[in-house]
Amino acid sequence: MMQVELTVNGERRSDDVEPRLLLVHYLREVCGLRAANIGCDTTSCGACTVLLNGESVKSCTMLAAQASGQDVVTAEGLAPAGELHPVQQAFRAEHGLQCGFCTPGMVMAAVSLLRENPSPTEEQVREGLEGNLCRCTGYHNIVRAVLAAARGSGGRPPMASTAGASGESAPLAGTAGQHANGQTEVTA
Ligand code: FES
Ligand code: FES
């Protein structure tokens, strides 16, 4: 066992973990945060996407030990309790989810994308979400949602004025069950 110290959704934590424990398993099993889903064993689906120091990462691709000393945000930590982050709001307004399994990862990838580029084109959104797969193939509405969030038409202020928000939980459909492999690329 080894000790990791990191900030998760604004909370400083110190936990003893197995050195080979993946970050996604740490978040789900040690922290009890179930928004980051596990949808593949090939680091290809993006269902496990979280923010590490503000940038999206697939939490199945790194060890909890590698995240020690860093800041992690999951979908639960995007917005204050009882509220939705503008991107979550836009996904709801634009029907950007079906079963919801990919949604937390999509939302985190979109948050990271919009922080880097607050006014993306449709093509840039599609490129930015290439690492996140939706088995329900709901890409059209997902892209619409991200563009709506960028415009501030998801019912909340535009992303450019809300970047950096973190706090307590309000996940959007973050607890669906696992999927097998076989997702479709972002081409819709
Ligand atoms: S579970 Fe991490 S990329 Fe699929
Ligand atoms: S909404 Fe079902 S996997 Fe994307």
Q: State which amino acid sits at residue 162.
A: T
Task: Identify the band that residue 108 occupies on the pLDDT scale cut at 50, 70 and 90.
Answer: very high
pLDDT of residue 124: 98
* Distance (Å) from CA 71 to ligand 2 centroid: 27
pLDDT of residue 165: 38
Closest protein CA for atom 4 of ligand 2: 134
Which ligand has an atom closest to residue 177 CA?
Answer: 2
pLDDT, average across residues 2-17 = 98
Ligand 2 atom nearest residue 179's Cα = 3
pLDDT of residue 179: 41
Domain coordinates of the chain in residue numbers? 2-77, 86-173
Neighbours of 92 (CB within 10 A): 17
Task: Check if the beta carbon of residue 27 is closer than 8 Å to that of residue 72.
Answer: yes
**Which residue from 159, 154, 170 is spatially nearest to 80, judged by alpha carbons?**
170
* Distance (Å) from CA 24 to ligand 1 centroid: 9
Please give the backbone phi and psi of residue 88, each rounded to the nearest 5 degrees, phi first.
-60, -40
pLDDT, average across residues 12-37 = 98
Indicate whether residue 163 lines ligand 2 (CB < 6 A). Answer: no
pLDDT of 38 higher than 50: yes
Alpha-carbon distances of 72 from 28, 38, 91, 132, 133, rounded to whole Å: 13, 17, 22, 19, 22
Indicate whether residue 86 lines ligand 2 (CB < 6 A). Answer: no
Q: How far apart are CA 140 and CA 126, in angstroms?
A: 9
Indicate whether residue 137 lines ligand 2 (CB < 6 A). Answer: no
**CATH superfamily, with its number, for domain 2-77:** Beta-grasp domain (3.10.20.30)
Which ligand has an atom closest to residue 137 CA?
Answer: 2
Indicate whether residue 101 lines ligand 2 (CB < 6 A). Answer: yes
pLDDT of residue 159: 55
* Distance (Å) from CA 106 to ligand 2 centroid: 9
Direct distance between the N- and C-terminal alpha carbons of the chain, in angstroms, rounded to an integer: 45
Ligand 2 atom nearest residue 100's Cα = 1
pLDDT, average across residues 167-182 = 39
* Distance (Å) from CA 157 to ligand 1 centroid: 30
Ligand 1 atom nearest residue 49's Cα = 2
One fold for both 2-77 and 86-173?
A: no
Ligand 1 atom nearest residue 48's Cα = 2
**Which residue from 62, 84, 65, 64 is spatially nearest to 167, judged by alpha carbons?**
84
**CATH superfamily, with its number, for domain 86-173:** [2Fe-2S]-binding domain (1.10.150.120)
